[in-house]
Amino acid sequence: MEVVSAPAEMQRLAESARRQGARISLVPTMGFLHEGHLALMREARRRATMLVVSIFVNPTQFGPAEDLARYPRDLDGDLAKLRRIPADLVFAPDSSALYPPGAQTWVEVSELTRGLCGAHRPGHFRGVTTIVAKLFNLVRPHLAIFGEKDFQQLRAIQRMVRDLDFDIEVVPFPIVREADGLAMSSRNAYLSAAERRDAQALSRALFAARDRYAAGLRDPQALCAIAAEVIATHPGVQLEYLEAVDAETLDAAPGAGRPILLALAARVGATRLIDNVVLGDR
């Protein structure tokens, strides 16, 4: 496994691999890897002959009051896990290498990022799509895998790839959950034991609405109310939003007969967590 930090070297290696006929898969991460990340990498490993994993805590997707400084980092531990996958190449650049002085170009998906997390984290998705576009240009992957926990991010990247004619297959991967139902996230490391118990209410709320959907309930607001009722029994959970939107367009009013994304964000203590379920056939 090779570790590369220089963007020009990453691009050189990718171009060389392509010339030799490699099929390149990319899994972008911010590090502090957990089993959810590793599941994406195993799928990427299965689909390609060369697996590239990026590790980069992207400063442009954090707001001024968010947790950039305390975001968990463990490069040595990450590399040990990646050797077991195994990854072929790890791209771990410095911030100054990807955002040199004077950089002023952004990639932005305008409509898909207005609601949900976009309404509460101004500039977040602009930072995400910009860094992913840069990674696509440097790694030159044939496919890239993104988890469905960050569902709005997934849709924004799919739209960017379509609109800008990237020759890349974006592969969604289902949410990986802990045994207690909590969606795996690097930020789960922030939770105390009591906060962890409260955080389980997020998945329980979504699963309660999913059960009612399976029983025939289709009204989006009623499904939200069912989920909200579960969360209300946990005063340690402060909802930021809980919404039912069209799972394809993220429009606030799901089309008749179309799959529904039931998505939420909440703070448990000082930690912001997100989760979702998709209701209906896709």
- Same structural domain, 6 and 97: yes
- Same structural domain, 134 and 225: no
Tell me, yes or no, whether 222 lies in a domain.
Answer: yes
Known active-site residue 37: yes
Tell me, yes or no, whether 67 lies in a domain.
Answer: yes
Looking only at the bridges linking them, the beta strands covering 237-246 and 260-268 are antiparallel
pLDDT of residue 262: 98
Task: Report the distance separating Cα 14 and Cα 50, nearest Å.
Answer: 10
Cβ contact 116:241 at 8 Å: yes
- Same structural domain, 30 and 161: yes
* Backbone dihedral angles phi then psi of residue 139, each to the nearest 5 degrees: -90, -25
pLDDT of residue 224: 97
- Same structural domain, 86 and 210: no
Helices 220-232 and 193-214 meet at what angle, rounded to 10? Answer: 150
pLDDT of residue 208: 98
CA 42 vs CA 82, 84, 119: distances in Å = 10, 10, 33
Take residue 102 and report the two structure tokens written for it: 């004077």
- List per-block mean pLDDT (blocks of 10 residues) for the chain, which spans 282 residues: 98 98 98 96 98 97 87 95 97 96 96 96 96 98 98 98 98 96 94 96 98 95 97 96 96 85 97 96 78
* Backbone dihedral angles phi then psi of residue 23, each to the nearest 5 degrees: -100, 115
Q: Which of 34, 37, 142, 234 is catalytic?
A: 37
Number of domains within the chain = 2
Angle at 24 between CA 125 and CA 27, to 5 degrees: 35
Question: What residues make up the domain containing 255?
Answer: 186-277
pLDDT of residue 159: 98
CA torsion sign for 247, 252, 255, 256 is positive
- Same structural domain, 142 and 15: yes
DSSP letters for the chain: -EEE--HHHHHHHHHHHHHTT--EEEEEE-SS--HHHHHHHHHHHHH-SEEEEEE---GGGS-TTSSTTTS---HHHHHHHHHHTT-SEEE---HHHHS-TT--------STTSSTHHHHSTTHHHHHHHHHHHHHHHH--SEEEEEGGGHHHHHHHHHHHHHTT---EEEEEPPPB-TTSPBP-GGGGG--HHHHHHHHHHHHHHHHHHHHHHTT---HHHHHHHHHHHHHT-TTEEEEEEEEEETTT--SSPPTTS-EEEEEEEEETTEEEEEEEEES--
pLDDT of residue 168: 98
- Same structural domain, 37 and 169: yes
> How many CB atoms within 10 Å of residue 162?
11
Instruction: Report the CATH number at residue 221.
Output: 3.30.1300.10
User: For residue 190, which of 272, 76, 265, 95 has the smallest C-alpha distance?
Assistant: 272
Tell me, yes or no, whether 229 lies in a domain.
Answer: yes
pLDDT of residue 39: 97
Which positions ≥6 away from 116 have C-beta within 8 Å? 152, 241, 243, 245, 250, 263, 265
Instruction: Report the CATH number at residue 152.
Output: 3.40.50.620
- Same structural domain, 51 and 165: yes
Residue linked to tokens 């990498």: 41
